[in-house]
């Protein structure tokens, strides 16, 4: 037996530090399951697979705005340096889809006000285990706490108001693909609300979802001012026999 990160370092011919970071970032799998503990003891003949993030790409650009398709596993803040623009909003590292960046402070301030006023339309695609039968509006308040730099949210009567509209799109083999619209923007809102109604997102183990190679949540569409931008759902979101 040997530590997972040390076995990975040998397999990939990289340093122990690089191997540990790959595991900590959630990119390393064995027999389809994510390796979560870099120091876990594993057999010497273990073979790992590495799923690194894809490259981000520009979906729309004008003199004020850049809309970027952020892959799963990429930190939103890393996009600022790459595109030399400021984030207007952000997505969790584990969520893929549309992120908006501003090229100037004036436009950023206007856009942020649109978000605060709840005039920005945000539509996501999610996959959950189970059969989600009909459209549902979830209006449970959400409270977020932070410890050791990690945010954690929950439904709590003393939390902030939050509204999520969930519509089933497709059901296959006890999995449901959902369209999810949020009228507010609370931390982990979709993840918490779907957990609360008994349908945690596939791969979202932090909120009781079944383990998978990623969290199946994608920011599919956003409409702000007179612009509507769409990011196609990732190919792994296709429900198949």
Mean pLDDT of 209-222: 94
Catalytic residue among 24, 92, 204, 211: 92
Higher pLDDT, 26 or 61: 61
Chain mean pLDDT for the chain: 94
Tell whether the model's pLDDT for residue 234 goes beyond 60: yes
List, in order of start, the domains of the chain with CATH numbers: 2-50 (3.10.290.10), 57-233 (3.30.2350.10)
> What gap in Å lies between CA 52 and CA 91, rounded to an integer?
18
pLDDT tens by residue, 46-105: 999 998 778 999 999 999 999 999 999 899 999 999 999 999 999 999 999 999 999 999
| Per-residue confidence (pLDDT) for residue 176, from 0 to 100 | 97
Give the model's confidence band at 173: pLDDT under 50 very low, under 70 low, under 90 confident, else very high: confident
What's this model's pTM, rounded to 2 decimal places? 0.84
Confidence of residue 241 (pLDDT cuts 50, 70, 90): low
Q: Is 62 a residue of the active site?
A: no
């Amino acid at each position: 037996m040997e530590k997972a990160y040390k076995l990975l370092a040998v397999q990939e011919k990289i340093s122990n530090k690089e191997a540990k970071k790959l595991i900590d970032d959630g990119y390393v799998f064995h027999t389809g399951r994510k390796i979560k503990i870099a120091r876990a003891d594993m057999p010497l003949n273990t073979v790992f697979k590495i799923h690194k993030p894809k490259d981000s790409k520009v979906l729309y650009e004008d003199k004020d705005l850049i809309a970027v398709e952020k892959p799963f596993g990429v930190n939103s803040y890393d996009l600022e340096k790459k595109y030399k623009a400021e984030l207007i909003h952000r997505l969790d590292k584990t969520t893929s889809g549309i992120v908006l960046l501003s090229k100037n402070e004036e436009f950023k301030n206007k856009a942020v006000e649109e978000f605060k006023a709840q005039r920005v339309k945000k539509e996501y695609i999610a996959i959950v285990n189970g059969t989600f039968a009909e459209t549902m509006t979830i209006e449970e308040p959400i409270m977020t706490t932070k410890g050791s730099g990690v945010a954690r949210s929950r439904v709590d009567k003393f939390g902030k108001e939050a509204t999520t509209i969930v519509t089933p799109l497709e059901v296959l083999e006890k999995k449901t693909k959902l369209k999810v619209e949020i009228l507010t923007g609370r931390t982990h809102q979709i993840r918490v609300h779907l957990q609360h109604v008994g349908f945690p997102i596939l791969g979202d183990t932090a909120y009781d979802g079944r383990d998978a190679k990623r969290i199946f949540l994608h920011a599919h569409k956003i409409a702000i001012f007179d612009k509507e931008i769409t990011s196609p759902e990732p190919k792994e979101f296709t429900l198949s026999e």
